Structure formats: structure tokens, C-alpha cells
Chains A and B, each alone.
Chain A
Amino acid sequence: MAPAASTKTTSKVIQPVSTRRKIIMGIVFLAFAAITLLVFLPKTPADLKTSFALTPGGLTRGAVENWVVNSRQTLMIISILTILLGIYQLIRGFGHRANAILGLVALMFLFAFLTFAAKGKSVNIGGLISSSLSLAVPIILGAYSGILCERSGIVNIGIEGMMLMGALVGALVGSVTKSPWIGLLGSILSGMLLALVLAWLSIKYKINQIITGTVINIFGTGMTSFISAKFMQTNEALNNTPMFTRVPIPLLADIPFIGPILFNNNLFIYGTILVAIILQVALFSTRWGLRLRAVGEHPKAADTLGINVFKTRYMGTLLGGMVAGFAGGYFTLGSVGRFDEMMTAGKGFIGLAAMIFGNWNPIGAFGAGMLFGFADAFGSKLSILGSVVPPQFMAMLPYIITMVVLAGLIGKGHAPAAEGTPYEKE
């Protein structure tokens, strides 16, 4: 475990935060505060209250009373906190934690917006967080698929195709065997199979990995639509899989607020949290992770030290494919119970975005995925509350944030250095 500790911070040291970026970030914080103060506050009468329900609908374990706040005071508190953070950012700077603070500020802003939009009304914040988590699951897993592939040096833009395939195979196998477990196994294997194609074409034939990923997307879309149209639409018995049901964890599910949201879910949500923890530990605190990252950063050096670059890349990509297949299984086995054409609806690409926003780190990607899932859930909540902001614009947010991050306006990510480059053994 010792060698890992010294390498943990290298990416941070290489990328010092520039002054310009620091200032832009501070201004962004202040802009959030300004909107809260100048737009929301004047339109909020002093006597209105916003009532937040804290338990997702339909659950009784760990239920708590509604949390009622004064709308105006809440807006004041949030804007003051944001201003303080903005001033600190402008003067001292949060350094490499700035992205996390940005997430926090964005969350506070969303909370302010919710308080404003639901003034005098009630909004179920527990249900909102719970549905954010469900919506975030495929995004987070998609990001992990990307992280595993790209940390080993293989660019994977075929996550969407792998997910679709996983979803289809999960539904098909689950329907035939009447077992969600075997269906899930099918999902994972199908994702792995496509990843094998990606790895094989990229490593053996050295095809441009972006083209290979595109091929996997085209093939995944075509093949799943073909099978669905040919067999599953004509024979409903093939598209009616049993699903993983809600399994409350004893004791933990009774914790107020957190219990119903986190510990009263199906396998996929527990699985995602588990994968997050395992991946974070494995990547940064084990010899395995060090080797994987070494191959992605500097394959020649890794090879010199006796690490088998090709084997490591195959392993990283196959694991990534398995995670993508698992994510695909979520759509059919954990969420809907049947396969529909194009049902992943770009979640694989948002996963890619979450990976970049999370700076190729499991914890960061988890946060980014949650934020994107929240934006999604928030969008549909807004249309119910009848807000001025169209839900489509909320849905655009993840993509816009990714572009802003990529452009280096608010902290530049650090991609694995050797990513996308086929390795030639001399």
C-alpha cells in the first residue's frame, strides 16, 4: 500500500489553479448570490412559508415530519453564505477543491430556487433526492465504465451502446429465465463482450478508438432495435422480465431522512454505492490501481517496470464494459421491467460528461452524476410546480457544465496522459 500514497497527489500538483480561473469562479459564485438576491427575493413576500416533505412518497419506514421554513429568510441565509464563499474564492481561492465548492454553491442555488418556486406551497424534497439518486445511477455507472477504460488508456465513447445492449440482454434473459439475477448476469456479460470488441480493435488492430466507440454505439443501437423489433415486439413474453424489488436494509432503513432515501432501495442503488467505494479504494490505494493508472499515464514506463500493458488495458476495458452492462441492466431490471428502443436516451454520454466533470475520479464522478441526476429530477419537478424555466433547459445543464469545464473556465480536468494512444511494444 505504501507506493500508492506518494502518487496520489501528482495530478493536482501538475495543474496549478490559474488566477484567471480563480477569479472567474468567484464571480460565478457571486452571480448565483446576485440572482438569489435580486430576482428571487423581491418576488417573495415576507410571510410566505415553504414546506419541504422529507420522505419519498409511499414509504413509511423512517418517515419524518415536514420541514417548514420561512421562504424569505431562507433565501437571505443562502445568498449570504454564497457571497461569503464567493469572497473567499476571490481572495484566497479554494484551489483544487473549487469544483466541489462550485457543486455546493450550485446545490444551494437550486435549494434557493426551490424555496422560491414553491413559496406558499409544499415540495417533496425527500422524493426529489430519491429520484435524483435513481436517475443518477446509470450516469454514475456510465462514468465508472469510462474511468476504468480511460485510466487504462482506452478511450470509451461506446458506453451508450454497451448500456443499450446490457438493457436489452437483461430484459431478454430475465424474461426467458424468469430470474432478474440471471438477467443481470446477461447484462454484465453483454457489456463485457462489446468491451472486448473495443479492446481488441483498439489494442490489436490499433483502430482509432473514437471510431471504434462510434461503431459500438451504431452497432448497439442497430442490434438492440433489430432484436427488439424482430422478436420482442411480436412476442410480449420475451419482454416481460421480473425486476429487482426494493430491499430495505434492517435498522438502517429506519434512520430518519437518510434511511428512506439511501437504505430502502433496490440492488442497483446499493450496487452503485458499493462500486463507488470499491473503485475509489482500488484505484488509489492498491497496487492494482497504481498499475492501471501507470498504464494509462505512461505505458512505456509501466512496461519497463514489468507491467503487462496489453493485459492491463484489456482488464480495464473489460471491467469498464461489465460496469456499463450493469448500468444497462438497471434500465430494464431495476427501473422499467421491459426493453424499449433507445431507452438509455443518452445516459451513456452524460456518464462520459460526469467522468470529465469528476476529473476521472470515482468520488468526483459520483458527485457529478448526482448533480446531473438532480438536474434531471429537478427539471421534471419544475414542470409540476409550473416554473418559468422550461425543463428542457434544466436537462441541458449537464452538457453545458461539461463544456465549460472542458474549456478550462472553471478548473481544467486532468485526463490520463496516454489515453487514446495505442501502445507499441518495442
Chain B
Amino acid sequence: MSEEPSKKQDLGKAVLEEIAPKNNKKTGKRRPFGRALVIPLLAVFSGLVLGAILIIVTDMEVYAAFGQSFGAGIKAAFNSVVVAYGALLRSAFGDPARIIAALEGGDALEIRRAFNPFLESLVVSTPYIFAGLAVAVGFRSGLFNIGVEGQLFIGAAAATFVGYTLKGLPAIIHLPLALLAGAAGGALWGFIPGLLKAKTGAHEVINTIMLNWIAFRLTDWLLAGPMRRPTSGGMPITPEVEPSAMLPQFFGAPIRFHLGFIIALLVAWLIWFLLFKTTWGFNLRTVGANPHAAKYGGMNIVKSTVIAMSLSGALAGLAGANQVLGITHSMAMGLSSGYGYDSIALALLGNSSPLGVVLASLLFGFLRNGATQMMVATKIPIDIISIIQAFIIVFIAAPALIRAIFRIKAEKADETVFVRGWGG
């Protein structure tokens, strides 16, 4: 990567500069691994603290307790957070007491039930891994892909279509075919803004936002018309995919843990290998870091941009295919719970490195799965996770804020971000 400081930076480069661990210019030493973890950890911690504050201020019982006495109020507030986050942890990882009791009891169904929360969290993490990788690949190549949501829908639609139209194939052919269709659908939806950016300079942010909405309308139409299940009675839902196209589940009900998680880990490794161990990946990252230097070095920026956006879209498409083939087995509009926007948080939190994205995805998966059960137990809406995520992104994107809160010394002075708009 070039060390040449450039004042006129591109959007993606600015993001990359902000998030990528880069060589310390003054000493030439790499930033220590521990230091790299400080900001993300503190950001997550601060996000959870703000979430706790939100739980307290929206809990009517706390106000009632404060009405009695100050001490009772503090106690009620503390209690409210402990109950909520306790329920979150238990339903994210499983209840240790229940696991021990189930193992002692030896009832197979009960053991599965006891271990289910943990495995379910992994299931929830899986689409996050794909979607987070999609944004990370974009960031690494200097592109901001806000269109993951749309690419995910198109990928899911393509995978579903292949899943239910092809019949009689063995699973060893059908499943990879359906997954590839998902990737191809997403790749097409990423290819369009990539090509437009490379050829006309149209900013990928606005184009991917527009393509998101086009994808929603398109799937709306597909589900209501051409792809509607004939027996659905007017409900916008597709037929169920053939069993040969489903991602196999490893355990009996109620555990939904399926092959998708392992595929996600493999894909994450593959992306790491591609980005950091091949010339091709080096080109991609160089174009992302400094397009001018890349151009002087004889690299093909048009090709790199198009490939990067297509790859990013393909990963997003895989996220959609994973959901359809692994969990829902048919497609409806409620497919995504906002993976597209969450994935931006994931890529930022994971420093745009595949390993980081996997870790961040696990965190979000456990949080979201925990929150689903927390909602049942404590009536705290699951949307609190989105709010916590918003805080986490702010803290990651503005390390200065975290430093100000926790009084950490700045390690380098030149952390300004230059972002270009989408006009020129």
C-alpha cells in the first residue's frame, strides 16, 4: 500500500483509512493487536451501557420505585437492567442450570432444547457473516455498498427459484446450484452500481440505495405474481424449495443449526485468502487505498471496481440464499430484518477484516437472538438492538468520542476523514 498522503481522498479510501489497521507513519511499527481491540470493545461496552440507560428510562416500574424513595429507585433501575440483560445472556448462550439438568436427565429432546439457544445464536449469526463480508469487501476496495439489503433479496429470490423449479436433482448438485444462483443474483445487483461507478462515476451510495428499493418492488411483484405459491390463497409467498436444495441440519428439532454456518466460515476464510494472499486481492486493496497510485501502477481501476462490487453483491446474495435454503425454505417479504444496514456496522466493527467480521457477526447474532427471547421475558422490544447498534457504529466511526469518554490518548493526530459527495 502506498504511504503517499493524498489530500483528495475518495470516500471508500476515507472509510478504509479510518478502519484499517495501518502502519504507523512515524515509527514504522504496526499498531499492536491489543490496541486495535480497545476501541471496538469500548464501543460495544458504551453501546450496551446506553442500551441499559434506555431500558431504565422506559421502565415504568423504575419511576414508581423512585416515587417511593431514591434507594428503591436505584435498586429497581439496577434490577430492571439485570433482569433484561440476564434474560438476553441466558437466551443467547443457554441456561447453564438447564444444560446440566438436561445432561443429567439424559433425555435427548431436553438436551437439544437446552443447547438450542447457543446453536440458534450461531444460526442468527450466519447471514450477518455473509452480509458483513459483503460490506467489508466493498470497504477494502474503496467502495461503500449500502445495497446489501437489495442484493440479499435478489439473491434469495434467485436461490428460491432454482430451489423449487429444478426437481429430481441429487442434493450434491442441487444445493450448490441454488447457492450459486443466490450468489449470481446478488452479484448482478452489485455489478450494476459497480459498472455505473466505473464507467460514469455515478456514486455507488446513491445507486445502491435506489437499487435496494427497485429490488423490494421487484420481489414484491415476483412474490405476488410469477413466483407465488399456487396454493397460498393470495398470500405473497413462494413455493417451498425441494428438500435436495435445503441446507442440511445436523440435529433434530428444535435445533435449526445448519450447514450454512460452516459455509460462512469457509467463505470468510476464502475472502481473507483472496484479499490478502493473492495478487488480485492486492490490486483490489490498492485501488481502494489509493486509486491514483493504482492507476500509475498500471492497475485496471474499472475492472477492479466492477469485480469488487460484484463480489460484494455475491456475498450479500449468499446471505439471502442462506436464509431461504437454511431456515425459511420459502421466500416472503419478511425475509430480512435489516441485515443490509446491520452489515455496515459489522464491517466497521470488524475493521473490514474477515476475522473481525466473523467475530462482530457472532456478537450481533448472540445479541439479536438473546433479544428475541428477552422480548418474550421482559416485554422490551427487540428494536433496542438496532439502537445499541447505532450507538456502536457512532463510537467506532468516531474514535475521538470514545477517547473523550474514556480519556484515552490519541495515538496519531492525522485522523481526519475526507468524504466526497455523489455529484461529480
Interface residue SS majority, chain A: helix
Is A424 touching B423 in the complex (CB atoms < 8 A)? no
The answer to whether the Cβ of A206 comes within 8 Å of any Cβ in the partner chain is yes
Q: How far is the CA of A403 from the CA of B338 in the complex (A)?
A: 23
Is B423 touching A413 in the complex (CB atoms < 8 A)? yes
Q: A346-B213, A352-B209, A399-B210 are in contact. Are A407 and B200 (CB under 8 A)?
A: yes
The B-contacting residues of A in range 386-403, CB under 8 angstroms, are 390, 392-393, 395-396, 399-400, 402-403
The answer to whether the Cβ of A223 comes within 8 Å of any Cβ in the partner chain is yes
> Which of the candidate stretches A42-50, A129-137, A177-185, A208-216 sits at the interface with the other chain?
A208-216
By beta carbon, the residue of chain A nearest B15 is A208
Is A403 touching B398 in the complex (CB atoms < 8 A)? no
B390 contact set on A, CB distance < 8 A: 215-216, 218-219, 222
When each residue 215-229 of chain A gets 1 if its CB lies under 8 Å from chain B and 0 otherwise, what string results? Answer: 111110111011101
The answer to whether the Cβ of B211 comes within 8 Å of any Cβ in the partner chain is yes
By beta carbon, the residue of chain B nearest A209 is B419
The answer to whether the Cβ of B196 comes within 8 Å of any Cβ in the partner chain is yes
CB distance from A379 to the nearest CB of B (A): 10
A217 contact set on B, CB distance < 8 A: 341
B420 contact set on A, CB distance < 8 A: 420-421
Contact of A407 among B202, B348, B380 (CB under 8 A): B202
The answer to whether the Cβ of B58 comes within 8 Å of any Cβ in the partner chain is yes
Q: How far is the CA of A207 from the CA of B401 in the complex (A)?
A: 10
Is A218 touching B18 in the complex (CB atoms < 8 A)? no
Q: How many A-B residue pairs have CB under 8 A?
A: 169
Q: Which size bracket describes the interface of B in this complex?
A: 35 or more
The answer to whether the Cβ of B96 comes within 8 Å of any Cβ in the partner chain is no
Q: How far is the CA of A403 from the CA of B380 in the complex (A)?
A: 40
The answer to whether the Cβ of A416 comes within 8 Å of any Cβ in the partner chain is yes
Is B348 touching A406 in the complex (CB atoms < 8 A)? no
The answer to whether the Cβ of A340 comes within 8 Å of any Cβ in the partner chain is no
Q: A201-B398, A396-B214 are in contact. Are A218 and B393 (CB under 8 A)?
A: yes
Is B58 touching A230 in the complex (CB atoms < 8 A)? yes
A208, A230, A414: residue with the most chain B Cβ atoms closer than 10 Å = A208
When each residue 1-28 of chain B gets 1 if its CB lies under 8 Å from chain A and 0 otherwise, what string results? Answer: 0000000000100110010000000000
> Which of the candidate stretches B85-93, B218-226, B274-282 sits at the interface with the other chain?
B218-226
B383 contact set on A, CB distance < 8 A: 221-223, 225-226, 229
B385 contact set on A, CB distance < 8 A: 222
CB distance from B11 to the nearest CB of A (A): 7
Contact of B417 among A408, A415, A422 (CB under 8 A): A422
Number of A residues near B (Cβ < 8 Å) is 55
B213 contact set on A, CB distance < 8 A: 346, 349-350, 396, 399
The answer to whether the Cβ of A309 comes within 8 Å of any Cβ in the partner chain is no
Is B400 touching A205 in the complex (CB atoms < 8 A)? yes
The answer to whether the Cβ of B171 comes within 8 Å of any Cβ in the partner chain is no
CB distance from B23 to the nearest CB of A (A): 22
Is A414 touching B416 in the complex (CB atoms < 8 A)? no
Q: A201-B398, A211-B397, A226-B383 are in contact. Are A402 and B221 (CB under 8 A)?
A: no
B344 contact set on A, CB distance < 8 A: 211, 214
Is B210 touching A211 in the complex (CB atoms < 8 A)? no
A402 contact set on B, CB distance < 8 A: 206, 210
When each residue 358-384 of chain B gets 1 if its CB lies under 8 Å from chain A and 0 otherwise, what string results? Answer: 000000000000000000000111011
Q: How far is the CA of A227 from the CA of B54 in the complex (A)?
A: 11
B221 contact set on A, CB distance < 8 A: 390, 392-393
The answer to whether the Cβ of B217 comes within 8 Å of any Cβ in the partner chain is yes
Q: How far is the CA of A61 from the CA of B144 in the complex (A)?
A: 52
Is A352 touching B397 in the complex (CB atoms < 8 A)? no
Is B210 touching A403 in the complex (CB atoms < 8 A)? yes
Is A390 touching B211 in the complex (CB atoms < 8 A)? no
Q: How far is the CA of A346 from the CA of B217 in the complex (A)?
A: 11
A-B contact list, 19 entries, CB within 8 Å: A205-B401, A207-B417, A208-B419, A211-B15, A211-B397, A214-B393, A223-B387, A226-B386, A231-B58, A349-B212, A350-B213, A353-B206, A353-B210, A396-B214, A403-B207, A403-B211, A406-B202, A408-B200, A420-B421
Shortest 6 CB-CB contacts between residues of A and residues of B: A415-B423, A222-B386, A419-B421, A229-B381, A219-B390, A392-B221
Q: B residues engaging A (CB < 8 A)?
A: 11, 14-15, 18, 54, 58, 144, 146, 196, 199-203, 205-207, 209-214, 216-218, 220-221, 224-225, 338, 341-342, 344-345, 348, 379-381, 383-387, 389-391, 393-394, 397-398, 400-401, 416-424
Q: A residues engaging B (CB < 8 A)?
A: 150, 155, 157, 201, 205-212, 214-219, 221-223, 225-227, 229-231, 346, 349-350, 352-353, 356, 390, 392-393, 395-396, 399-400, 402-403, 406-408, 413-417, 419-422, 424
